[in-house]
Amino acid sequence: MGPSPPAFLVLVLGWLLAGPSLTRCQLPLPSISPGDSERVVPLNSSFTLRCSGESEVSWQYPVSEDEGPRVDVRSEENNTGYFVAVLEVGSATAAHTGLYTCYYNHTQTEDSDVEGSHVYIYVPDPDVAFVPLGMTDYLVIVEDDDSAIIPCRTTDPETPVTLRNSQGLVPASYDSRHGFNGTFTMGPYVCEATVRGKTVQTIPFNIYALKG
């Protein structure tokens, strides 16, 4: 004996309401080609990243359309049934160093973090040891006693980097994709790199702690 009409209607309604979200959850992450999670691209060379997925896809990349070096993104049609977005850089510079993320358009809202597939691009430049930053990036605000990231990222993953303040060397964990991570006292900090035997420093990062 089948379910009563009210119960049946509830089942159907539940399926209809859950269907779109289930479909979104079941989609595999977009695929990026080439498939490396990290690439080192020679200075002034070109590179292309191709993203494909089962719904419309877009790219998030480290330089904006109205500032800095040019990045071209276009949709591409093919016979596979997949949606494809192609990202092209004609002449790579240090400012192109960073995280490139391909994501489904329908999964993003204005307030949400971009979730998708990633590839990190390095463009080593002996004259630009650190990825260029905006002036606001040099002010690091943290709550009292919380850890912080000092975002001095290198254009070359092999570049050795140290952190200094007025007292000298500061021990902290370093990742070339993010910078120095640690618990820092208030004040200025400078990242220092050695490139081809030459010492290069950033302008000071200022740590400001909010008192609880």
Domains of the chain from N-terminus onward:
29-122 (2.60.40.10), 135-210 (2.60.40.10)
Distances (CA, A) of 95 to 106, 134, 175, 182: 29, 11, 18, 25
- Residue matched to tokens 């998708």: 116
Place of tokens 């269907």: 19
Digitized pLDDT (tens) for each residue of the chain, 212 residues in all: 445 555 444 443 444 444 444 444 568 899 999 999 999 999 999 999 999 999 999 999 997 545 666 899 999 877 778 999 999 999 999 999 999 999 998 876 665 677 899 999 999 999 999 999 999 999 999 987 789 999 999 999 999 999 999 999 999 999 999 999 999 999 999 999 999 999 999 999 999 988 76
Q: Which residues contact 167 (CB under 8 A, 6 or more apart)?
A: none
